[in-house]
Amino acid sequence: MCTSLNTIATPTRRDALLGLSAGLGSIALASMGYGSEPRPHHAAKAKRCIFLMMEGGPSHIDTFDPKPELSKQHLKAFTRHGEMESAMSSGKRYFVKSPFDFVKAGESGADLARPWVHLAEMADEICFYRGAQVESVNHPTACYQLNTGNQFGGDPAVGSWVTYGLGSPNENLPGFVVLPRTSYPQGGAANWSNGFLPARFQGTPLRPEGSPILDLNPPNGISREQQRNDLDLLRELNRQHLAQRPDRDDLTARMQSYELAYAMQAEVPGVIDIEGESQHTLEAYGIGDPSTDSFGRKCLLARRLVEKGVRFVQAYAGNWDSHDYIEKAHGSLIRSVDKPIAALLRELKQRDMLKDTLVVWCGEFGRTPDNGLRGGGQSYGRDHNAKAMAMWFAGGGTRGGHTVGATDDIGASAVECVHHIRDVHVTLLHLLGLDDNKLTYYHAGRHKQLSQFGGEVIKELIA
């Protein structure tokens, strides 16, 4: 049946409400600076971020926070009742010294465990922070809180908030890229979810083995021109479909994902082909050495991605959950990331990119100064600790060559410049030119933000 051009359809109540909400939403986004042209709230010190996530909870006591007192208390037994620094902290306990000696590195005299051979050369570029605390001692909830601000998941990841606020300089690449391990972190892909933000802001994981992105190349016999024609037809059909369903954000995201996938087929192969790098560069990152090859590739790829305009890259390493044999476990893990991270910082500096690239290193929590003895000898390790953790920053306007904050004499809890992880998030956004109180999204009846309900900038970390 045809409808006359003179016939005016009567809008339903639902159509009217949707139209009103869409109009108000556009006005609100434009007033906040998140319309078609995202922009920072204030002058940014960093343009991009590389987030090095050490999943499993690296021990601050055995990496960057030496505790001579533990050598005096080593294997001294005591009984703890009812305290919850760790999910496994009740009962008979033993203090545990670090199996590693520490060195003073750089002109700043930064404290690094001796296995950090290569990172020690870059110590003066790093701001070590010993005051951060989280709330959970369980891996999934702690990972969620570190990555999204919410212990229970479902909220946008830090990288999603950053790309929502600033957009992506390269329209042919995702603004937020994740370099996971073969096994995803506890909590899975929710660690880089877009949450309640539009779907286009979710992190794009690159596979650690095989082709980083499936179906990156067009099918055999299909030219780029044919693909473009097919996408144009599909886009028009989807546009007509969406016009009748303006409340379906997933349809908009699907259309955008098709376009991004097409663009990525042209852009991505050149970015991920690290074999084109010089042999000197590959060796500097430890590529080719079985102990450093995996994370070396991630660090080199992270540099290439941010160089091409990716706003936020998160690279995972693990598993740092050393409840026993910490000398063997942490020693091996440090060696696997030490050379790649040092090469990343060095190359960023050489390319004059470190000054406006924020590099973050941390895990989801720290570890206890004590543990239940497991077999005696060198088999001891450490439990989970939410009150003290290892964290550092480099570049992007942070105070290189400084150590900020402190833990108590055995490393059980932060006692100086103490801040909840929400303040770390607020500081990260601030360095990128974003105000956590302005970077909000209306969802479920209220304006939501990364910090959940507000936080403060840790000024001591900023140059």
3-state class of 275 per DSSP? helix
pLDDT in tens, 299-351: 999 999 999 999 999 999 989 999 989 999 999 999 999 999 999 999 999 99
Q: How far is CA 79 from CA 34, 251, 313, 381, 388, in A?
A: 55, 58, 43, 17, 21
pLDDT given at position 55 = 97
The neighbouring-strand residues paired with 178 are 205, 314
pLDDT given at position 377 = 57
Distance, CA of 100 to chain centre:
28
Is the omega angle on the peptide bond into residue 319 within 30 degrees of 0, that is, cis? yes
Model confidence at 262: pLDDT above 80: no
> Cβ distance 408 to 418 under 8 Å?
no
Least Cα distance to 159 among 299, 43, 348, 311 occurs for 311
DSSP 193: -
CA-based max dimension of the chain: 91
At 199, the pLDDT band (50, 70, 90 cuts) reads confident
pLDDT in tens, 42-71: 999 999 999 999 999 999 999 999 999 999
Residue 330: what residue type? Answer: H
Average pLDDT over residues 120-146: 97
3-state class of 116 per DSSP? coil
pLDDT given at position 183 = 86
pLDDT given at position 3 = 34
The neighbouring-strand residues paired with 89 are none
pLDDT given at position 91 = 73
- Within 8 A by CB and 6+ apart from 352, the residues are none
- Counting every residue written for the chain, the total comes to 463
Compute φ and ψ for 335, nearest 5 degrees: -65, -30
> Cβ distance 368 to 324 under 8 Å?
no
pTM of the predicted structure, to 2 decimals: 0.84
Model confidence at 249: pLDDT above 60: yes
Compute φ and ψ for 441, nearest 5 degrees: -145, 130
- Residue 444 and residue 196: Cα distance in Å, rounded? 9
- Residue 259 and residue 268: Cα distance in Å, rounded? 14
Average pLDDT over residues 274-281: 91
Model confidence at 6: pLDDT above 50: no
pLDDT given at position 30 = 29
Model confidence at 455: pLDDT above 70: yes
Model confidence at 96: pLDDT above 80: yes
- Residue 9 and residue 410: Cα distance in Å, rounded? 74
- Residue 200 and residue 259: Cα distance in Å, rounded? 11
Least Cα distance to 127 among 432, 306, 360 occurs for 360
Q: Which residue has the tokens 């890229």?
A: 177
Indicate the angle between helix axes 293-307 and 326-350, nearest 10 degrees.
30
- Within 8 A by CB and 6+ apart from 328, the residues are 378
> Cβ distance 139 to 321 under 8 Å?
yes
Q: How far is CA 148 from CA 191, 278, 432, in A?
A: 7, 37, 17
Average pLDDT over residues 361-376: 84
Domain 38-210+271-461: give its CATH architecture. 3-Layer(aba) Sandwich (3.40)
- Residue 163 and residue 169: Cα distance in Å, rounded? 10
Average pLDDT over residues 75-95: 72
Compute φ and ψ for 401, nearest 5 degrees: 80, 20
pLDDT in tens, 380-428: 889 999 999 999 999 999 999 999 999 999 999 999 999 999 999 999 9
Please state, rounded to an integer, the average pLDDT across all residues of the chain: 85
Lowest mean per-residue pLDDT among 57-71, 232-246, 272-286: 232-246
